[in-house]
Amino acid sequence: MTSSTKVLDGGWGWAIVAASFMAQFLAYGSPQSVGVLYPEWLHTYQEGKGMTAWVGSLVAGVGLIASPICSACVDNFGARPVTLFSGVMVAGGLMLSAFAPNVQFLIFSYGIVVGLGCGLVYAATLTITCQYFDKRRGLALGIVTTGTSVGAFIYATAQNELIVLYGLDGCLLIIGAMALNLMACSGFMRPLNMPGYYLKQKAALERNTEEQLFVKPPFDDLKILLITIDAKDLSIQTEKKEGHLAGLAIVKAIKQKQKAYSKYMQSLYEILQDQEMLAFCIAIFLFSLGAFPPVLFVEDVAQSGGLIEEVSVIPLVSIGAIATCIGKLALGILVDIKWINGVYLYAFTMLAAGLVLLFIPITKSYVGLQILTAILGFFSGNWSLTSYITTKIVGIDRLTQAHGILMFFGGFGIMLGPPVVGWFFDWTQSYDLAFYFSGICVLLGAFILFLLSLPCWNRRPSENDKPEVQYTSTCDKVASVA
Same-domain check for residues 144 and 268: no
The pLDDT, as a whole number, for residue 225 is 41
d(CA 223, CA 42): 55
The pLDDT, as a whole number, for residue 445 is 92
With respect to residue 354, please indicate whether it lies within any of the assigned structural domains.
yes
pLDDT exceeds cutoff 80 at 219: no
The total domain count for the chain is: 2
> Using 50, 70 and 90 to split pLDDT, how confident is the model at 89?
very high
The lowest-confidence range among 94-108, 237-251, 438-452 is 237-251
pLDDT exceeds cutoff 70 at 236: no
With respect to residue 171, please indicate whether it lies within any of the assigned structural domains.
yes
Same-domain check for residues 131 and 31: yes
Domain boundary among 196, 211, 244: 196
Nearest 10 degrees: Cα torsion 77, 80, 86, 92? -120
With respect to residue 277, please indicate whether it lies within any of the assigned structural domains.
yes
Residues in the chain: 482
The pLDDT tens digits of the residues spanning 320-333 come to: 888 888 887 788 77
> Using 50, 70 and 90 to split pLDDT, how confident is the model at 92?
very high
> Using 50, 70 and 90 to split pLDDT, how confident is the model at 216?
very low
What lies within 8 Å, CB to CB, of 327 at 6+ separation is: 377, 378, 379, 380, 381, 382, 384
The pLDDT, as a whole number, for residue 299 is 77
d(CA 443, CA 354): 5
Same-domain check for residues 181 and 268: no
Q: What is the mean pLDDT of residues 300-326?
A: 76
Q: Are 301 and 360 in contact (CB under 8 A)?
A: yes
The pLDDT, as a whole number, for residue 393 is 79
The pLDDT, as a whole number, for residue 240 is 46
Domain boundary among 142, 170, 196: 196
With respect to residue 482, please indicate whether it lies within any of the assigned structural domains.
no
Check which CATH number belongs to the domain holding 149 and give it: 1.20.1250.20
Provide the percentage of residues in the chain whose pLDDT is more than 90: 21
pLDDT exceeds cutoff 50 at 358: yes
The pLDDT, as a whole number, for residue 243 is 52
What's the domain range around 86?
A: 10-196
The pLDDT, as a whole number, for residue 197 is 58
Same-domain check for residues 270 and 182: no
Same-domain check for residues 151 and 279: no
Q: Which residue type is seen at 230?
A: D
Instruction: Record the pTM.
Output: 0.67
The pLDDT, as a whole number, for residue 295 is 75
d(CA 307, CA 360): 12
Q: Which residue has the higher pLDDT, 401 or 245?
A: 401
Same-domain check for residues 304 and 157: no
Q: What angle do CA 469, 230, 218 make, to 5 degrees?
A: 175
Determine how many CB atoms are found less than 10 A away from the CB of residue 76: 16
d(CA 434, CA 50): 11
pLDDT exceeds cutoff 70 at 194: no
The pLDDT, as a whole number, for residue 470 is 43
Q: Which residue has the higher pLDDT, 44 or 243?
A: 44
With respect to residue 1, please indicate whether it lies within any of the assigned structural domains.
no
b/e for 397-412, b at 16 or more Cβ within 10 A? bbbbbbbbbbbbbbbb
Q: What is the mean pLDDT of the chain?
A: 77
The pLDDT, as a whole number, for residue 416 is 85
The pLDDT, as a whole number, for residue 217 is 47
The pLDDT tens digits of the residues spanning 18-54 come to: 999 999 999 998 888 887 888 888 888 888 877 888 8
With respect to residue 209, please indicate whether it lies within any of the assigned structural domains.
no
Task: Give the side-chain half-sphere CA count within 13 A for 38.
Answer: 35
Q: Given its phi and psi angles, is residue 243 left (phi above 0), alpha (psi -120 to 50 degrees) or beta?
A: left
The pLDDT, as a whole number, for residue 245 is 60
Provide the percentage of residues in the chain whose pLDDT is more than 70: 74
What lies within 8 Å, CB to CB, of 344 at 6+ separation is: 450, 453
Determine how many CB atoms are found less than 10 A away from the CB of residue 202: 12
Same-domain check for residues 187 and 291: no
> Using 50, 70 and 90 to split pLDDT, how confident is the model at 226?
very low
The lowest-confidence range among 201-205, 295-299, 302-306 is 201-205
With respect to residue 125, please indicate whether it lies within any of the assigned structural domains.
yes
Same-domain check for residues 175 and 269: no
With respect to residue 189, please indicate whether it lies within any of the assigned structural domains.
yes
Same-domain check for residues 54 and 160: yes
The pLDDT, as a whole number, for residue 96 is 93
Same-domain check for residues 192 and 267: no
The lowest-confidence range among 236-245, 327-336, 354-363, 443-452 is 236-245
Same-domain check for residues 277 and 361: yes
Look at residues 418, 101, 76, 66 and name the one whose alpha carbon lies nearest to residue 89: 66
Same-domain check for residues 186 and 295: no
d(CA 223, CA 229): 10
Q: What is the mean pLDDT of residues 53-72?
A: 81
pLDDT exceeds cutoff 80 at 95: yes
The pLDDT, as a whole number, for residue 202 is 60
The pLDDT, as a whole number, for residue 461 is 44
